[in-house]
Structure 1
Amino acid sequence: MNKLMIFPIIITVIQLISFGHLYYIHKYGSGQFPADFIELNILSICNIGVLILAYFLYFKADIKLSIWLVPVLLAAITILLLVVIYIIMWINKYK
């Protein structure tokens, strides 16, 4: 396996484990404290770092590995989900 392919695979596995943990906290966590929302914020901040890394290691690279599209897509979905949740919260605040 190419050494360049290991890095996006590790990032993807970490993202999938984080999504699984976020789902577990959402389903079985405490209802008094929104731990899942806080973890989604932290995960989105980390995924901004993934997007910055992908910019330098995929989009600026001479040899483009299509395996980078998976962590980029997962990062974009996470950030988009957080933005949608913030928009829903903003709309419900002024209803």
Structure 2
Amino acid sequence: MNRLMIFPIIITVIQLISFGHLYYIHKYGSGQFPADFIELNILALCNIGVLISAYFLYYKADIKLSIWLVPILLAIITIIFLLVIYVIMWINKYK
């Protein structure tokens, strides 16, 4: 396996594990404390770091590996999902 392919694969595996943990916390966590929402915020912040690293390691690289598109897509989906939740919360606050 190419050494350049290891980093995006590790990022993708970590993202998938964190999505699974987030689902588990949402499904079986305590209902009194919104731990899943706090973890989604932390995950979105970490995915901003993924997007920044992808900018330097994918877009600025001479050899563009298409494997980088998977963690980039997962990061964008997570951030958009969090923004949609914030918009829904904002709409329900002023309803």
TM-score range, shorter chain: over 0.9
Percent identity over paired residues? 88
CA offset at residue 35 of structure 1?
A: 0.1
Q: What amino acid maps onto 2:6 in structure 1?
A: I
2:5 counterpart residue number: 5
Q: How many residues align?
A: 95
1:15 counterpart residue number: 15
Secondary structure of 2:67's aligned partner: helix
TM-score calculated relative to the size of structure 2: 1.00
1:1-53 CA distances to partner (integer Å, 9 max, x unpaired)? Answer: 10000000000000000000000000000000000000000000000000000
Instruction: Give the superposed CA RMSD.
Output: 0.2
- C-alpha distance in structure 2 between counterparts of 1:37 and 1:24, whole Å: 12
Q: Which runs of 5+ in 2 are unaligned?
A: none
1:69 counterpart residue number: 69
TM-score calculated relative to the size of structure 1: 1.00
- C-alpha distance in structure 2 between counterparts of 1:83 and 1:61, whole Å: 30
CA offset at residue 91 of structure 1?
A: 0.2
Q: What amino acid maps onto 2:23 in structure 1?
A: Y
Q: What amino acid maps onto 1:72 in structure 2?
A: I
Alignment of 1:46-57 (within 5 A): 46-57=46-57
CA offset at residue 75 of structure 1?
A: 0.2
- C-alpha distance in structure 2 between counterparts of 1:3 and 1:79, whole Å: 28
The structure 1 segments of at least 4 consecutive aligned residues displaced by more than 6 Å after TM superposition are none
Q: Which runs of 5+ in 1 are unaligned?
A: none
Secondary structure of 1:52's aligned partner: helix
